[in-house]
């Protein structure tokens, strides 16, 4: 049986902001931008959570609950820098580290007991080292698989360590509320509650066939998780699965032309991200959120992967025009690229015009990297 750690940074964005500005310590801090705008809370301190704030909450609602809070736009580059620092520290100590997000890491501790001692003792030492060297607090869950380790890391936040001993997985999970299971969200939760499920133990005592009838394949997976089963395979180099950008408008938009201009700008940004990482994308998706909060997505998979802004934009614009059928304002638009592949330029694959354009895009990338994204703009039919 394996020993898996889930290391979750506590209020990570806020913790980094407090390193940058120590005067924020002990105060209700909310990262997410203008409290009178239309964005959402990206992160909030534990002092702010006492007022009912939480991640993904509309920031206007957060301001109503906590008007005296300190609202920040955030410093994403700094978050990435500190995230990389945590990853580097972990990789120097352990053979297999999988980064799940900017502030979450899985560690395979199996077989390391002879080097570091017991898993809980090593977790305590690791937690202290991260705090001492990087000034960042974290919580750690330890279990036989990734799902339970993730649930355990959230059990005693902040700065908690929770060890679920092998064979006691169901005992640990049984009294917990069903929403503790990753994936039980706004859509699934009311369905389960309406049928009398309150705790994870309730799910475990149900039948997999019933949950499958209720929720499809996710129902079967849910039953497995409730009974303490889960994936214990980690990958030391987890490739990026997607690139995305979205914007929430200050005022609802109804003009297709105006919305397409925003979509064009977002396309330039995701295209730049692709080229920076030497990726190409094959599936292009758009996301629309109407003023009544109805959200729809549309996607198209191309014959060949691309990093060309023109191709990405034309595909996204076509998806948008086919999707925007209601006479209701648009609150948010986003673009999402998946099925990513590493770019490998073999000149004989391209005709002269296409090769010239690809080289042009990389020249644009270098200029933007040096002077900023807005230093040069790609028009819908060339360079502006």
Reported as a single tens digit per residue, the pLDDT across 41-99 is 989 999 999 999 998 889 999 999 999 999 998 898 899 899 999 999 999 999 899 88
Model pLDDT, residue 196: 94
- Among the listed residues 84, 86, 79, the one whose alpha carbon sits nearest the alpha carbon of residue 130: 86
Separation CA 304–CA 379 (nearest Å): 23
C-alpha of 253 from chain center: 27
Spatial contact of 329 and 290, defined as CB atoms under 8 Å apart: yes
Q: Which two tokens stand for residue 320?
A: 């948008």
Q: What is the per-residue pLDDT across 23-47, written as a single tens digit (0 to 9) for each?
A: 999 999 999 888 988 788 989 999 9
| Residue 308, phi then psi, degrees to nearest 5 | -85, 120
Give 77's contacts (C-beta < 8 A, 6+ positions apart): none
Domains, the chain, ordered by start: 1-167 (3.30.70.270), 174-226 (1.10.150.20), 242-383 (3.30.1490.100)
Low-confidence ranges of the chain (pLDDT < 50): 238, 344-357, 359, 368-370, 373, 375, 381-384
What pLDDT, on the 0 to 100 scale, is given for residue 292? 86
Is 27 in contact with 170 (CB distance < 8 Å)?
no
Do 20 and 29 form a contact (C-beta atoms < 8 A)?
no
Compute the distance between CA of residue 379 and CA of residue 267 in angstroms, rounded to an integer.
11
78 is an active site residue: no
For 69-216, list the strands marked E by DSSP.
Answer: 70-72, 97-101, 104-108, 138-143, 161-163
Alpha carbon distance 184, 192 (integer Å): 9
Catalytic residue among 78, 91, 104, 265: 104
Distance CA 139, CA 154 (A): 7
pLDDT at 377: 55
**In whole angstroms, what is the distance from residue 202 CA to residue 360 CA?**
59
Task: Answer whether the bond into residue 158 is a cis peptide, omega within 30°.
Answer: yes
Rounded to an integer, what distance in angstroms lies between the CA atom of residue 114 and that of residue 176? 33
User: Phi, psi (5° rounding) for residue 25?
Assistant: -60, 130
Residues facing 272 on adjacent strands: none
Q: Could you tell me which residues come within 8 angstroms of residue 110 by beta carbon, excluding any fewer than 6 positions away? A: 2, 3, 4
**Residue 23 DSSP label:** G
pTM, two decimals, is 0.65
Question: Buried (b) or exposed (e) across 338-364, using 16+ Cβ within 10 A?
Answer: eebeebeeeeeeeeeeeeebbeebeeb
- Residues with Cβ within 8 Å of residue 83, at least 6 apart in sequence: 9, 12, 99, 102, 103
126 contacts 140 by C-beta, under 8 angstroms:
yes
Long-range contacts of 83-86 (CB under 8 A, 24+ apart): 83/9, 83/12, 85/134, 86/7, 86/9, 86/130, 86/134, 86/136, 86/138
**What is the model's pLDDT at position 183?**
82
**147-to-73, 150, 203 alpha-carbon distances in Å:** 32, 5, 15
CA distance 326 to 259: 14
Note whether 149 and 106 are within 8 A (CB).
yes
């Amino acid at each position: 049986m394996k020993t898996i750690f889930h290391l979750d940074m506590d209020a990570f964005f806020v913790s980094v902001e407090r390193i940058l500005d120590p005067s924020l310590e002990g105060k209700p801090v909310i990262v997410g931008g203008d409290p009178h705008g239309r964005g959402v809370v990206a992160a909030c301190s534990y002092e702010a959570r006492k007022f009912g704030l939480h991640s993904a909450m509309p920031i206007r609602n957060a301001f109503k609950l906590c008007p005296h809070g300190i609202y920040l736009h955030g410093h994403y580059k700094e978050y990435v820098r500190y995230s990389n620092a945590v990853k580097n520290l972990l990789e120097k100590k352990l053979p297999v580290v999988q980064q799940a997000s900017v502030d979450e890491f899985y560690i395979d501790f199996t077989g390391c007991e002879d080097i570091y001692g017991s898993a809980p003792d090593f977790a305590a030492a690791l937690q202290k080292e991260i705090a001492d060297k990087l000034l960042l607090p974290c919580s750690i869950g330890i279990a036989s698989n990734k799902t339970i380790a993730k649930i355990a890391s959230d059990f005693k936040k902040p700065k908690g360590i929770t060890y679920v001993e092998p064979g006691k997985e169901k005992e640990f999970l049984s009294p917990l509320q069903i929403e503790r299971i990753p994936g039980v969200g706004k859509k699934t939760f009311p369905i389960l509650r309406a049928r009398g499920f309150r705790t994870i133990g309730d799910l475990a005592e149900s039948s997999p066939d019933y949950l499958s009838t209720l929720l499809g394949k996710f129902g079967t997976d849910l039953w497995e998780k409730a009974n303490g089963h889960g994936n214990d395979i980690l990958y030391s180099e987890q490739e990026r699965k997607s690139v995305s950008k979205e914007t929430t408008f200050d005022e609802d938009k109804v003009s297709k032309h105006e919305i397409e201009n925003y979509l064009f700008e977002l396309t330039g940004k995701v295209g730049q991200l692709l080229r920076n990482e030497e990726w190409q994308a094959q599936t292009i998706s758009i996301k629309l959120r109407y003023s009544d909060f109805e959200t729809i997505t549309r996607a198209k998979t191309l014959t060949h992967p691309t990093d060309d802004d023109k191709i990405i934009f034309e595909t996204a614009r076509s998806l948008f025009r086919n999707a925007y059928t209601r006479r209701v304002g648009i609150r948010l638009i986003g673009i999402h690229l998946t099925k990513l592949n590493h770019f490998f330029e073999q000149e004989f694959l391209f005709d002269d015009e296409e090769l010239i354009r690809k080289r042009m895009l990389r020249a644009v990338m270098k200029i933007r990297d040096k002077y900023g994204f807005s230093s040069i703009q790609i028009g819908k039919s060339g360079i502006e």
